[in-house]
Amino acid sequence: MDLERLDPFTWRVPVGTVEGMRVPGIVYGSEAIVRAAVDDRAFLQVAAVATLPGIVRASYAMPDVHWGYGFAIGGVAAFDPDEGVVSPGGVGFDIACGVRLLRSDLAWSKDVAARVGELARSLGREIPRGTGTGGRLPVAGRDLDRVLREGVRYPLARGIGLEGDEERCEDRGVAPDALPEAVSERARSRGARQLGSLGSGNHFLEVQVVDRVLDARAAAAFGLAEDQVCVMIHSGSRGLGHQVCTDHVAAMDRLAPSLGIRVPDRQLACAPLGHEAAERYLGAMHAAANFARANRHVLADGARRAFEEVFRRSAQALGLTLVYDVSHNLAKLEEHEVDGRRRRVCVHRKGATRAFGPGHPDLPEPYRAIGQPVLVPGSMGTASWVLVALPTAADRSFGSTCHGAGRAMSRTQAKRRQRGADLARDLEARGIALAPANLGLLSEEAPYAYKDVDEVVRACEGAGLSRPVARLRPVAVVKG
């Protein structure tokens, strides 16, 4: 299939690529990125999303796009609240998976380089990780209900975290429309023990160093400077969110005949916005999002405790403050300009980060004049990026941008290429201290399994979605 190139970083998937398309698909990326999306057929998923009822403007794909469940990972789509639908496949199984970044007053060369191994070991002791692992703050019963309803406010009420953490989270750390009663007992049982745990797969906690600043004004607003030590946490809603997605995909699939909605792929199971099934899913999804945000908050507390142990000073004295916390798997009702007027639409972001430009009222005051921080995690041995949202993202992607590098090969292919123990030696030879939970799984997330994150970032800037502020290289990695 030949995509239509509209400009150097914008490609159109024509209506008719998949039968029943209501709008075109739009894929953002360089020629190499888009060629990869064609090779793994992710562009067909972009086209399939364009068949869903009530879709507005286009079905979008960010530059880290690759094949996913239902929606392509990197997919963005907005739906009219009166005629449109919500689809769990447009959010994914790891609901509100996202990234939290802490900055510090520590300099790599002066304060941390000589002690990074000790720091990695301390982080390894503080951060529970791996499949099925219990967390730092297990909860049950009413406490779990509070987490599902209150998000980061629950651990803050327990004295966990620092003043100001809540203000620098997307939605101030809590989704107000959560319905804990829509979360099944199976989902609750899977999540109860896991609050404050990293999980496995591509989730990580990294100690990073700012090795390049490209936008001095935005970097200063975010509290970032060259040679500064930071901590990036990439994790989500663990087994609870996975089960919420599983439950509601099955429920909507069973309802499909009675709803009269036909989709080209059962993974796109959906329900009309306003329908009881849609409302229950949205409420359960927001509850899982609150769990994910509280999870990263508790993990950040573990990171602060490790720094305190190694450097013998409080987290406050070390300047370990939150830059931002943002999710990249959510569906949310937002106001956007469509056809010249402001409208509420339900924006699905699946492996895509919210990117609100300067002046947006949902941004915390310190960032409102600059634009929203966008946190783009790398793939273990590669750099991560802090970007800032561009004002043009509102029109080009409903205020969205990439969420990472995006996979270039499957986990099975990655494991065949190199053993985990060999990869660990390679990374340590490059000066990256490791605290892995399972060496056998390490190579599943090897740097070569992902696209070039620098190219993805360049494509986001070229497409008018976000621009680079600072590049961060890893010096210690804690993995599940």
Query: pLDDT per residue over 270-314, tens digit each?
Result: 999 999 999 999 999 999 999 999 999 999 999 999 999 999 999
Q: How would residue 1 be classed by pLDDT, with cut points 50, 70 and 90?
A: low
Q: Closest Cα to residue 128, out of 288, 291, 299, 308?
A: 299
Supply the DSSP string of 25-90, one letter for each residue.
EEEES-HHHHHHHHHTTHHHHHHHHTTSTTEEEEEEEEEEEE--SSSPEEEEEEE-TTT-EE-GGG
Asked if pLDDT for residue 407 goes beyond 90, the answer is: no
The domain spanning residue 248 has which CATH number? 3.90.1860.10
Q: What local confidence, expressed as pLDDT, does residue 397 receive?
A: 98
Q: What are the backbone angles phi and psi of residue 246, rounded to the nearest 5°? A: -55, -45
Confidence band for 381, pLDDT divided at 50, 70 and 90: confident
How many structural domains comprise the chain? 1
| Helix (H/G/I), strand (E/B), else coil: 252 | helix
**Cα 16 from chain centre:** 31
H or E element that contains 373: strand 373-376
pLDDT of residue 464: 98
User: Which band of pLDDT confidence, cut at 50, 70 and 90, is reported for residue 451?
Assistant: confident
Diameter over CA atoms, the chain = 66
Strand (E) or helix (H) holding 309? helix 276-311
Report the percentage of the chain scoring pLDDT > 90.
Answer: 86
Whole-angstrom Cα distance, residue 63 to residue 457? 8
State mean pLDDT over 444-456.
89
pLDDT at 477: 94
* pLDDT tens column, 39-67: 999 999 999 999 999 999 999 999 999 99
- DSSP run (H or E) holding 467: strand 466-479
* pLDDT higher than threshold 90 for residue 374: yes
**Catalytic residue (one of 203, 234, 242, 403):** 403
How large is the average pLDDT for residues 10-15? Answer: 98
Write out pLDDT tens, residues 197-219: 999 888 999 999 999 999 999 99
Provide mean pLDDT across the span 436-444.
80
Query: What is the average pLDDT score of the chain?
Result: 95
Closest CA to 262 of 48, 109, 478, 30: 48
403 is catalytic: yes
Computed on alpha carbons and rounded to an integer, the radius of gyration of the chain in Å comes to: 21
- Show the domain range for 28: 4-479
